[in-house]
Amino acid sequence: MSKLVTIYGGSGFVGRYIARRMAKEGWRVRVAVRRPNEALFVKPHGSVGQVEPILCNIRDDSSVAQAMSGADAVVNCVGILNQVGKNKFDAVQHEGAERIARLAAAAGIETMVHLSAIGADAEADSDYARTKALGEEGVLAHMPNALILRPSVIFGPEDDFFNRFADQARFGPILPIAGADTKFQPVYVDDVAQAAVKGILGEAAGTYELGGPEVKSLRGLLQDMLTSIHRRRLIVNLPFFAAGLVAFGFDLLQTITLGLFTNSIVTRDQLKSLRNDNVVAADAKTLADLGIQETPMNSVLDSYLWRFRPSGQYDAIKNSAKNLS
């Protein structure tokens, strides 16, 4: 019988790419998610019955243990950018990650891959960065041979970075942001998936920081995005104080509506992270150490941002028609 991997959060942005690659490796893939009925799209990643979404609550021991029953490896891709309801940073990124590692070790599973983030720091002001670091510590306490992946901002067709800003750029001549000079090193989602596969197959362990070939400021990245969607916008850098007031308002709105409104624009915690560069450290192990070629942004962005152009898929045709005499 083929081997089995359980991917917690396997229907998410990164998880689905790992699931697809593991199916191609011939493994059975169990996708552990909160709403399996909304994850049915992962089933065609493999042959009939090879990829299966199942119900799992990462905050519950029995649920997590049941999801990994019979597995040869586990992958944790669960992470949040905003705290909503019971899904707090500590509950998900710290306690949830440690729970998976603890139960995997108890079940005799020897292989684990954990998706963290560049900037993970137990002393960080940001709760996101702090709990990412505590999650790493919890994983390594129970699974010392785990592969820890720390990507910079991840881009790809389903990303919540370029897609979100491109959507905002459709409205009005100004694109307001905070932290315009903060540097990032965007990494392609399938490169991250390839790195995870190395760990699942037992070809890599330890901590790796993942970034692409370009290091650019947030302003530079958005300029590349605007070029891709054929729009001209004035990028306005808000002072952190002013951005903090905006974030406070949206956070407050989320609180008083009991989560009916979700702050997907900017939170106060995200602003704390934006004060620090998000690039691969000079002494870190990287994609190159895993034998993976970094994918440049300009080879991918146009393939999914075209829908934000003024005329969508017809934009190039209309521009060409203007040159006809």
Render pLDDT for 28-42 as a digit per residue (tens, 0 to 9). 999 999 999 999 999
Q: Assign 141 to helix, strand or coil.
A: helix
Domains and their CATH numbers in the chain:
4-158+186-211+278-293 (3.40.50.720)
- The label of the residue with tokens 């820890």 reads 148
Q: Which residues pair with 53 in a beta bridge?
A: 31
- What type of residue is 147? L
* Gap between the Cα atoms of 162 and 143, Å rounded: 34
**Is the predicted pLDDT of residue 260 greater than 90, yes or no?**
no
Render pLDDT for 138-157 as a digit per residue (tens, 0 to 9). 999 999 999 999 999 999 99
Q: Is 103 left (phi over 0), alpha (psi -120 to 50) or beta?
A: alpha
What integer is the mean pLDDT of 33-54? 95
- pTM greater than the 0.85 cutoff: yes
List of residues 6+ apart from 1 with CB closer than 8 A:
none
**Is the predicted pLDDT of residue 264 greater than 70, yes or no?**
yes
Render pLDDT for 130-141 as a digit per residue (tens, 0 to 9). 999 999 999 999
- What type of residue is 109? I
Give the model's pLDDT for residue 71.
97
